[in-house]
Amino acid sequence: MRINIIEINPIEMLRIAEKLSQKKFAEKLGYRSKDQYSYHSKEFTKDIIVRVYNIYGIDIVPDIISFLKNEVKSLKRNNNTSKKPINQANNFSDISNLIK
């Protein structure tokens, strides 16, 4: 099974498609505040998945999996490029050689 790569949080994509602010979208989903919505949308809690399904009839889980899969690939890519050998100096003369 091939999953499309999604680079934007799928819950935020839905909000943007609805042309709603975070505050209005939070209210539509039944959250008391934008902060409460923000927490659930970033953590992909079961609560927000159920609310999106109940209100929009959309199973957003495959999109969340795709987004997280892309995030993991991105982290691996960044981690591999940052692993450069570090020159270590054992004494002062080694330090001066590294500076040259």
Spatial neighbors of 88 by CB under 8 A, at least 6 apart, are 94
Task: State which residues form the domain around 47.
Answer: 15-63
Residue 2: band (very low, low, confident or very high) from pLDDT cuts 50, 70, 90: very low
Q: For residue 47, is it within any domain?
A: yes
Residue 4 resides in a domain: no
End-to-end CA distance of the chain: 54
| Residue 8: inside a domain | no
22 falls within a domain: yes
Say how many CA atoms lie within 13 Å of 17 toward its Cβ: 8
Query: Is 86 domain-assigned?
Result: no
Q: Which two tokens stand for residue 31?
A: 């959250």
Chain segment 31-63, per-residue pLDDT in tens: 999 999 999 999 999 999 999 999 999 999 999
Phi, psi dihedrals of residue 35, rounded to the nearest 5°: -65, -40
CB 14 within 8 A of CB 52: yes
The domain total for the chain is 1
Residue 25 lies in a domain: yes
